[in-house]
Structure 1
Amino acid sequence: MTAKRGSRKIIDISLDQLRYWLLVGAFVLLILVSATQIKSIPPSATEYTAQFGAGNALRQGLYSLCVGMVLIASRPVKIGWRLVAIPPTILLLLAFCVASIGWSDAPSVAVRRLILTVMIIWTVFRCVDELGYRRAMDYMVATLLVLLFINYAYVASTPAAIHQGGDATDPGLAGDWHGLIPHKNDTGPVLAETIILLAFGCGRLTMVWRLAMLLASGYFLYRTHSKTSLGLVFVGLATGLAYLRYRPAYRALLIPVLMLGGAVAAYAAITYVPMLLDSLDSSETAFTGRIQIWRTMTAYLREHWVFGAGFGSFWDAGPVSPANVYGRSWVSAMVSQGHNGYLDLWTQLGIFGLLLAVAVLFVIPGGRLLIATMPSKYHAAAAAALLIFLMGHNLTETTMMARDTFGNLMLAFAIAVIQNLARKSPTPGPRAFRVRNAAKGDRSTRNG
């Protein structure tokens, strides 16, 4: 009997380990596919032109594989409602997105895009819920460092890793590094987020290696010449440092100030942004063409500011796309996102959807960080820095609620980490790891 119990215990431990590494594998694969945005094997550059709602079969297949791996590793029958993982606030936002499909002129495109968005968000939340905030951040850092090494190797091995002077869409990109990732504006945020995580102690690295990786990430970021990421990485780091000095006892004074500031900012954006864009330079190249893109959206919003076009239905949805009606010919032909997450959500979900999204994605997680006493202040500071970085980044790029963009993945990751931190009792690893680490006196398993 003793021998049978011993063998059963070994089998149980092996199954726990198998599920654990299946979950980790799915998490790592999700990060790599989202960051590189591969379209083929070997990877090719992302096409920054309208694709008329067409998806990419390779990425969709890999994401489906990730979802399947996580489902198997999660033991859905055993964990029950915890399988949902996504918090009620984000479920409410997703329900609003579903409702908006009802008034979309391209419902089939909208449904596909919403399914992909849900797949990314759910996979991230489920992985963080199962791994705990500490291990999830460790694996995120490890994966991003592997991608950093690949990017350096790609730059050293082929001119295709550097934007060339013959780029007809933007000759000013010549000489900017992008590595394996198709465009320097996508490479910049990945490196900035790597720097933020490293700076606040995430990842199991010695101080020497941490400093070396910070320097390597910083140099590659500099060579991308991604101005938005270069500026916002310092804003994010300053936010994290300020959070380390913050005391939850200030919450009584801070919450009313944040609520008032948010209301003023929302009113100012609704009232003055369209007027401001109208008064700016109307040339085709002003602010790398973004002015014309934004004017397309504000022209649409003057007539449809309440409801919008429906989730995923403004850009690149075929002949019925509002961008074809309100934008100049080159805008509707070449642009597939509005280069401003807030305007993009407004054109899709209307004013109420935009306000709901900002509250759910930024205000509530930020407030949770400020109100709760976190078990690990450095991990909380990293999450706060990511949140502010992504909030600022969406002023010039669209990533929030934007399908499988890496910014959308990282926003879901930051919110999931905040949620896991706030519980103060993160889910430990599999029993094999708990037993082994407990024997060594490792306290990290008790902290996530």
Structure 2
Amino acid sequence: MRHLSPLRLGPSRPSAGLSAALGEAPWWSAAEGRALRTALAALILTLLLVTFEPYQAVFAGPAGSGNITNQLGYGGLGLAALLIHVCITPRQVAMRLLRPAWVVMALLLLLSSTQSIWPDASFRAVVFSLAAMLAMTGALCLVPDERAFRFALTVAALVVLGLSYTGIVLMPSAAIHNEALEAANIGLWRGIYSHKNVAGPVMAALCFAGLYLVRSGQWVTGVAIVLLSAFFVLKTGSKTTLGLLPLVAVLIFAGRVFGGRRLPVIVLGATFAGAALMTLGTVLSPVLYDLLQWAMPGTTFTGRLDLWRFAIHALGPQAWTGTGFEAFWSTPVVRHAEPPFGSSWDPRGIVNAHNGYLDLAIALGWPGMGFGIVVLVILPLVDFVRIGAQGPAATRVADFFLMVLAFTLLNAFLESFLFARGNPVWMTTWLAVAGLHLLPKGRTVA
């Protein structure tokens, strides 16, 4: 069974939802409705990538923590997206957004707040995270065709790059690290974002967007976005991003050349498994730790191994139920902990585990982390394989989504952003997950 998709990859034409909601009004032509939808999609996507706190001068933990601006902003976008899905999104597409696995994941996140010592704060954090995710699906469902999606993506990328480079030139104190607290980062670029480790991954996603635009024939804007974003990545000094960016591009493009849709998925799956074993696996298994030290003597991932050991030990009996969404790192058990002797990190000043999968386990327990991997890794890869033969446009869009997904999933082994409300790196991840699901399929995906 073939599903309709909001990302139409054939000739431009108004969708059924648009015709029903706007196109039949005598004062509103289909072309005007299409232009309005595209403009709204570009606005939502831009707001989600720019965030409501550009040029935040000091890295203060998870984006949007207790901030009324973020709460109103993402809450408003979530409500707007809900109206979009009710009034404009075709019913069959809206029903696809109720993917059972997504619904269960949302319920797990909401239920996790009951495990928190501050259930109200955790519940509020989950609600605003879901609102931001809903807003991203709204942007995807607004675009009437692939050309409109490219326009929205181009606008968002150019705004992020324009504001970031403007900050470097006109507001260097806000756009360049200069805090004595993180002396090693002084002079590194962060643009409109709170930290170089946020700026780097977002710029990598924009670089992939530029490659997608080049492949679609938009040479001028595509090349400009690739060069500007790649140079920005270089100036962030983010070693993880600098290593993953070319690796992911080569993996996806080479896999597509030699093996169609299945080979990139197989290679990415093997890479993901290897990264899991050689990062988080090394603090769970002495054998894997010895293997890591044999292959790369002295490797600690900048001290992260000590932090991961502390977190797993501190979880104790809650390892299977979790401690609640965004709650663990501000609990007394962490704030009043004695730093382990010889540890590279003092956990009392840490805001996350610097490993998105471990933070997911901390919030939801090991079973919850496992289900999160199903939602974020397994199902999107299945979606990619099952995308129908819709022509070169579908191939280009799918490859773009897969590159973004591969990069962010691998980056999450060393940084925490999964399901983080208002975090633009998470927004790019969810863009890829939702985009792959909404693309036309050759057959129904569960």
Q: 1:111 aligns with which of 104, 123, 129?
A: 123
Larger CA deviation: 128-137 vs 8-17:
8-17
Question: How far apart, CA to CA, are the structure 1 residues paired with 2:125 and 2:66?
Answer: 8
Query: Could you tell me which amino acid in structure 1 is paired with residue 283 of structure 2?
Result: V
2:427 aligns to what?
A: 409
**Structure 1: 5+ residue runs without aligned partners?**
1-5, 426-448
Change (3 A) 1:101 1:424: same
Change (3 A) 1:314 1:241: same
| Seq. identity, % | 23
| 2:276 and 2:413 in contact (8 A); partners too | no
1:370 aligns to what?
A: 385
Q: 2:416 aligns with which of 367, 379, 398?
A: 398
Query: Could you tell me which amino acid in structure 2 is paired with residue 340 of structure 1?
Result: N
2:134 aligns to what?
A: 122
Q: Matches of residues 249-260 of structure 1 in structure 2 within 5 Å? A: none
Q: Structure 2 length as normaliser, TM-score?
A: 0.78
Structure 1 residues 167-203: Cα deviation after superposition (integer angstroms, max 9, x where no partner): 2222111221112222111111111111112113369
Shift of 1:112: 0.8
Query: Do structure 1's residue 10 and structure 2's residue 9 form an aligned pair?
Result: no
Q: 1:328 aligns with which of 324, 330, 339?
A: 339
Query: Do structure 1's residue 55 and structure 2's residue 63 form an aligned pair?
Result: no
| 2:57 and 2:175 in contact (8 A); partners too | no
Query: Do structure 1's residue 337 and structure 2's residue 356 form an aligned pair?
Result: no
Change (3 A) 1:365 1:374: farther
Shift of 1:86: 4.7
Question: How far apart, CA to CA, are the structure 2 residues paired with 1:222 and 1:263?
Answer: 27
1:236 aligns to what?
A: 248
Question: How far apart, CA to CA, are the structure 2 residues paired with 1:149 and 1:259?
Answer: 35
Question: How far apart, CA to CA, are the structure 1 residues paired with 2:67 and 2:241?
Answer: 27
Shift of 1:145: 1.9
Question: How far apart, CA to CA, are the structure 1 residues paired with 2:228 and 2:277?
Answer: 42
Shift of 1:107: 0.9
2:153 aligns to what?
A: 140
Q: Secondary structure at the match of 1:45?
A: coil
Question: How far apart, CA to CA, are the structure 2 residues paired with 1:78 and 1:229?
Answer: 36
Change (3 A) 1:273 1:72: same
Change (3 A) 1:217 1:352: same
Structure 1 residues 315-361: Cα deviation after superposition (integer angstroms, max 9, x where no partner): 23xxx454335563984542221110011111111111111101110
Q: Secondary structure at the match of 1:118?
A: helix
Change (3 A) 1:77 1:206: closer
Query: Do structure 1's residue 294 and structure 2's residue 305 form an aligned pair?
Result: no
| 2:315 and 2:362 in contact (8 A); partners too | yes
2:296 aligns to what?
A: none
Q: Structure 1 length as normaliser, TM-score?
A: 0.77
| 1:70 and 1:123 in contact (8 A); partners too | yes
Structure 1 residues 198-250: Cα deviation after superposition (integer angstroms, max 9, x where no partner): 11336976324422332222112111111111111112212320342255685
Change (3 A) 1:248 1:321: farther
Question: How far apart, CA to CA, are the structure 2 residues paired with 1:64 and 1:250?
Answer: 38
Question: How far apart, CA to CA, are the structure 2 residues paired with 1:16 and 1:302?
Answer: 54
| Count of residues paired in the alignment | 404
Question: How far apart, CA to CA, are the structure 1 residues paired with 2:175 and 2:311?
Answer: 32
Change (3 A) 1:409 1:31: same
Change (3 A) 1:374 1:62: farther
